[in-house]
A and B are shown apart, each in its own frame.
Chain A
Amino acid sequence: MSGSSEIQMHEEPNSSDHAQHDLLVIAALADRGATGEEADLARAQIAACGACAALHADLVSLATATRQLPPIERPRDFRLRPVDAQRLRPNLVRRLFGSFGTPRDGFSRPLAAGLTTLGLAGLMLGILPGTLSLGGATSGGAPASTAMDQTLEAGASAPAAGVPEVEAPAPAPAGAQPTDPLQQYSDGDRAAADNLRPLGAGELQGDDGGRPVMIASAPEDFTDVADDSSGVSQLMVISGTLLIVGLGLFALRWTSRRFGG
């Protein structure tokens, strides 16, 4: 007890400084793991600060006590039974998998997760091509389309510069053929073509009747769409493959952990 009161008497005058001291170097010195500079710093702190000196003494005592901890009696015999040995003998599956899927295997899980994510993302993009189009329409397609419409309207209501004597289109009679060539396509195709319009924007020319029409760029656009669909199928194939590989990797991990012993 007297030792304790001595320590506290030492601690008090230095307590404000002690909070600033580097306790890790004291711990390093107590473990004889301090390098030259650390050891010098620790010794200086111990010499100047009673709390640091007490800490050092305590840490040395703790290290000694830890080394002297008694062994704990094992609760059972760990010898292997023949049935264990039979189960554990390397077989083809175990050799194939090795340590695959063990908690220390830090590679296969992120790889499987990455492949699965890429596969799913690719499939979503492939299955929902409208998602891309919709994204384009909301970001840039709509204004472009609106500009196009405005141009069309302008062309319809007033002569555009460089396009003399453009007549305003007469209202189409009911049941008449639509003047917009895009109307012959389905709504979906038209929507897709609308998004491609910026590529052909400004390609207005007057026809013989002076009506502003789109030059025959729409069919090309649809060709592009057709090309895109083959691209989409490629994307689908690749994404599906990635997804299958990723899920397969997860399955392999599970199998290895479940049956790999």
Chain B
Amino acid sequence: MPSALGPMLDSPSLEIAVRRESLPVEQDLRSTTVPDDPVQRRDLILLERARDGDLDAFNDLVTLYQDALYALVVRMVPDRDQAADAVQEGFFSAFRNLHTFRGGSVKAWLNRICVNAAMDTQRARRRRPSQPYPELEDDSWQPPAGEDADPERTAVLAERSRALSVALTTITDDQRTAIVLYDIEGYDYAEIAEMTGVSLGTVKSRIHRGRLALRDRLEGRMELFRG
């Protein structure tokens, strides 16, 4: 069905999805609706293939979303190793539960699974409290250096990110999860409430209290964030 695949080819990350020779026709999609969004269509095609036992198709989904999912989970579980384990467990869980996908956004579905895996990791940490989270640093990242990049500002931005990352590790897991989902992932209160299994009011409270806690932790360094 080439005409249906046309928009998909516009997607920059589509090469993985289209490298197969025979793409399934629309009737193969057991989801109730076929979305117009080419990315979602691509994801659904890959998911259907994975459901049919195609491991490569599932791994294509992994390739597409593993960076974003790790970036999300490592903010929730600031221990890098544990975050990686949680993401891996999330993908395992997704593979095991391919048959439970009921349509909609595959990305949101994977996000939810990995958030649950991250929360499981947090719970396990709480049951076996050992040490505080190690300081989360990422030396691999540097602010983009343009022609007019001010070295001082670049250094301030890097220091700000580092300070905030460290402060995030010191607030409670629940608060951090809510803030990460709200700020970094852009979910709204209701979506976070559904994902984390708590009430809307609890989500708001966690975000607001977490934000106040962050400000307390960064009290001596708020100059980095002003202006």
Since A3-B226, A72-B136, A80-B92 are in contact, a sample of 11 more A-B pairs with Cβ atoms closer than 8 Å, ordered by chain A residue number, is A24-B212, A55-B215, A62-B164, A70-B143, A72-B70, A76-B84, A78-B62, A85-B55, A90-B96, A90-B99, A103-B123
B211 interface hit (Cβ, 8 Å)? yes
A67 interface hit (Cβ, 8 Å)? yes
A258 interface hit (Cβ, 8 Å)? no
- Contact residues on B (Cβ < 8 Å of other chain), bracket: 35 or more
Q: List 11 A-B contacts (CB under 8 A).
A: A24-B208, A28-B208, A31-B207, A62-B164, A72-B74, A74-B70, A78-B70, A80-B91, A85-B58, A261-B92, A261-B96
Stretch at the interface among B18-26, B37-45, B182-190: B182-190
Q: Considering only CB atoms and an 8 Å cut-off, how many residues of chain A contact the other chain?
A: 43
Do A28 and B70 contact each other (CB < 8 Å), given the known contacts A66-B183, A79-B62?
no
Shortest beta-carbon distance, A115 to chain B, in Å? 23
Say yes or no: B55 contacts A75, CB within 8 Å: no
Across the interface, which residues of B come within 8 angstroms of A48, CB to CB? none
Residues facing A in B180-206 (CB within 8 A) are: 180, 182-184, 189, 204-205
B160 interface hit (Cβ, 8 Å)? yes
Residues facing A in B33-84 (CB within 8 A) are: 55, 58-59, 62-63, 66-71, 74-75, 80-81, 84
A82 interface hit (Cβ, 8 Å)? yes
Say yes or no: A24 contacts B96, CB within 8 Å: no
Instruction: Pick the 3 closest A-B CB pairs, nearest first.
Output: A27-B208, A71-B71, A74-B70
- Nearest A residue to B203 by beta-carbon distance? A33
Across the interface, which residues of A come within 8 angstroms of B211, CB to CB? 27, 30-31, 59, 62-63
Q: What string of 1s and 0s marks CB contacts (under 8 Å) between B168-187 and chain A?
A: 10000000000110111000
A132 interface hit (Cβ, 8 Å)? no
Say yes or no: A84 contacts B183, CB within 8 Å: no
Across the interface, which residues of A come within 8 angstroms of B95, CB to CB? 80, 84-85, 88
- Nearest A residue to B75 by beta-carbon distance? A69
Give bound CA distance, A4 to B223, whole Å.
Answer: 8
Shortest beta-carbon distance, B79 to chain A, in Å? 11
A-B contact count (CB 8 A): 134
Say yes or no: A70 contacts B225, CB within 8 Å: no
Give bound CA distance, A74 to B74, whole Å.
Answer: 9
Say yes or no: A62 contacts B225, CB within 8 Å: yes
Say yes or no: B55 contacts A80, CB within 8 Å: yes
Q: Which of B59, B69, B92, B138 contacts A73 (CB 8 A)?
A: B138
Across the interface, which residues of A come within 8 angstroms of B96, CB to CB? 88, 90, 94, 261
Shortest beta-carbon distance, B224 to chain A, in Å? 8
Give bound CA distance, A27 to B211, whole Å.
Answer: 7
Q: Which of the listed residues A4, A82, A85, A261 has the most CB atoms from chain B within 10 Å of its own CB?
A: A85
Residues facing B in A101-123 (CB within 8 A) are: 102-104
Do A59 and B215 contact each other (CB < 8 Å), given the known contacts A3-B226, A27-B208, A73-B140?
yes
Say yes or no: B141 contacts A71, CB within 8 Å: yes
A92 interface hit (Cβ, 8 Å)? no
Give bound CA distance, A134 to B159, whole Å.
Answer: 73
- Nearest B residue to A33 by beta-carbon distance? B204
Do A69 and B215 contact each other (CB < 8 Å), given the known contacts A28-B204, A104-B120?
no
Across the interface, which residues of A come within 8 angstroms of B184, CB to CB? 66-67, 69
A57 interface hit (Cβ, 8 Å)? yes
Shortest beta-carbon distance, B66 to chain A, in Å? 5
Say yes or no: A65 contacts B70, CB within 8 Å: no
Shortest beta-carbon distance, B136 to chain A, in Å? 7
A228 interface hit (Cβ, 8 Å)? no
Q: What string of 1s and 0s marks CB contacts (under 8 Å) between A1-14 and chain B?
A: 10110000000000
Say yes or no: B92 contacts A88, CB within 8 Å: yes
Q: Which of A57, A67, A77, A85 contacts B66 (CB 8 A)?
A: A77
Across the interface, which residues of A come within 8 angstroms of B207, CB to CB? 27, 31, 33
Shortest beta-carbon distance, B25 to chain A, in Å? 25
A229 interface hit (Cβ, 8 Å)? no
B8 interface hit (Cβ, 8 Å)? no
Residues facing B in A29-57 (CB within 8 A) are: 30-31, 33, 55, 57
